[in-house]
Amino acid sequence: YPQAFIYDLDGVITDTAEFHFFAWKKLAEELGIFFDRQFNEQLKGISRMDSLDRILNLDPSIPAFSLEEKEKLATRKNEYYLELIEAVDPSHILPGIEALLIENKKANLKVALGSASKNAPAILDKLGLTGYFDYIVDASKVKRGKPDPETFTTAADALGIAYWDCIGIEDAAAGIEALNKAKMFSVGVGDAAHLPHADYLVGNTSELVFEKIIEQYQK
Ligand code: B16
Ligand code: MG
């Protein structure tokens, strides 16, 4: 039987991907870089600085920025993002998530967050979900972001639980890869084209049913 559930934040608990998209798009446009929704898919689960590097690489005519300049650009993007998430409240919890958290607690399982976002604790608070979490891993706690397994292994280590006793839920390919490398059971939310390596795949969060996940884990 599993001992812990580890949740990704953006795309699993709430859909902040849309806010990240608008914030990056605004910055990219100011720099004269074309940026669309399809490209945004590649930024899911990727850290703020790595995302900026990928955006700057989109346009070969963009001059090389110093680290200091890049930090300023990343901070500017985050300011746009913070403005957009101002309105986040419990109505922004994705379908099925709070029910699953309640089932986790009923079954006496540990619950952790494994997010690449520096804003993760603040967003959990706005959603009113902080009380369900035994441990929160955000970008400040890890050196190597997803697809490195460190985000998830840090959570399991803090809870004192073996990696193979953990179930992780992710919407990003980089996150599924991180879970698989950690030897955790990976549950993907999305389609098979984006997440071909998930151990168990559901189309959206309302299909995240506790008994079904346990059944798949035990197979
Ligand atoms: P921040 P997750 C990730 O969250 C997002 O998917 C990714 O698009 C974002 O760049 C990253 O957090 C960093 O976020 O700028 O707030 O530190 O999916 O790992 O919960
Ligand atoms: Mg995500």
Q: What Rg value do the Cα atoms of the chain yield, rounded?
A: 17
pLDDT digits (tens, 9 = 90+) for 70-114: 999 999 999 999 999 999 999 999 999 999 999 999 999 999 999
pLDDT at 38 over 90: no
- How many CB atoms sit inside 10 A of residue 125's CB? 12
Report the distance separating Cα 45 and Cα 52, nearest Å.
Answer: 13
45 assigned binding-site residue: yes
DSSP 112-180: EEE-S-TTHHHHHHHHT-GGG-SEEE-GGG-SS-TTSTHHHHHHHHHHT--GGGEEEEESSHHHHHHHH
Selection from 139, 196, 206, 154 nearest residue 172 by Cα: 196
| Residue, of 178 and 35, whose pLDDT is higher | 178
104 assigned binding-site residue: no
Q: Looking at beta carbons, which pairs linking 128-134 to residues 24 or more positions away fall under 8 Å? A: 128/89, 128/90, 129/13, 129/90, 129/93, 129/98, 129/101, 132/101, 132/104, 132/105, 134/110, 134/159
Q: Is 199 one of the catalytic residues?
A: no
Q: Is 8 one of the catalytic residues?
A: yes
pLDDT at 41 over 90: no
Q: Which helix (H) or strand (E) segment is 189 a member of?
A: strand 185-189
82 assigned binding-site residue: no
User: What's the pTM?
Assistant: 0.92
Q: What is the pLDDT averaged over residues 130-141?
A: 96
pLDDT digits (tens, 9 = 90+) for 168-177: 999 999 999 9
- The residue behind tokens 């997803």 is 146
Q: Which atom of ligand 1 is nearest to the CA of 151?
A: 19
Separation of CA 211 and ligand 1 centre (Å): 29
Both tokens of 177, joined, read 């890869």
The DSSP letter of residue 184 is: P
Task: Establish whether residue 115 lines the binding site of ligand 1, counting it when its CB lies within 6 angstroms of any ligand atom.
Answer: yes
Q: Which atom of ligand 1 is nearest to the CA of 78?
A: 15
- The residue behind tokens 């600085």 is 49
Predicted local confidence at residue 180, as pLDDT:
98
Predicted local confidence at residue 94, as pLDDT:
98
Q: What is the pLDDT averaged over residues 141-148?
A: 94
- The residue behind tokens 């697809």 is 147
ipTM value: 0.93
Tell me the best of 48, 52, 124 to mutate to test the pocket of ligand 1, counting ligand atoms within 8 Å of each CB and taking the most: 48
Distances (CA, A) of 120 to 22, 139, 140, 141, 195: 18, 8, 10, 12, 23
Between the two ends of the chain, the Cα-to-Cα distance in Å is: 11
Which residues on adjacent β-strands are paired with residue 189? 202
Confidence tier at 7 by pLDDT (50, 70, 90): very high
pLDDT above 70 covers a percentage of the chain that reads: 100
Separation of CA 117 and ligand 1 centre (Å): 4
Task: Establish whether residue 93 lines the binding site of ligand 1, counting it when its CB lies within 6 angstroms of any ligand atom.
Answer: no
Predicted local confidence at residue 63, as pLDDT:
87
Confidence tier at 146 by pLDDT (50, 70, 90): very high
